[in-house]
Amino acid sequence: MEGEFDFNRTPISILGTKALAFVDPDERASWEAHGVDCYVTGRCPDHYPLLKFCVTHTKGVRKTGTYRLYPTNCKFPLILEADRTLLAAQQFFQLIK
């Protein structure tokens, strides 16, 4: 309604969305990567900007407010053309009755 929705400015996401979560400098060595690949597993209702992530290489859970979401990698359920045709036919037959 007010333009394109930006998932990176709003702390909501579809479960399973691919993301890159920031790792604090206190938790990593200076030569390690500043972010880890992960997937969104939920939100933290007690902490507004935080989301919970499942880190792929450690299989652990990380809560962070600094992340980058990649929602274009998610597949959304779609209605196929054949399903739409069947729905239209059902509605048509209901109208005829």
**Alpha helices, DSSP H, located in 1-97:** 81-96
Using the structure block, give the residue that is written with the tokens 């309604």: 1
Helix, coil or strand: residue 29: coil
Q: What digits encode the pLDDT tens for the residues 43-61?
A: 787 777 788 999 988 889 9
Is the pLDDT confidence value at 76 over 60? no
Helix, coil or strand: residue 13: coil
Which position has the higher pLDDT, 71 or 93?
Answer: 93
Query: Residue 20: CA atoms inside 13 Å, Cβ hemisphere, count?
Result: 6
H/E stretch holding 95 reads: helix 81-96
What residue ranges do the domains of the chain occupy? 18-96
Q: What digits encode the pLDDT tens for the residues 5-44?
A: 666 666 677 788 888 988 888 888 888 888 899 999 987 8
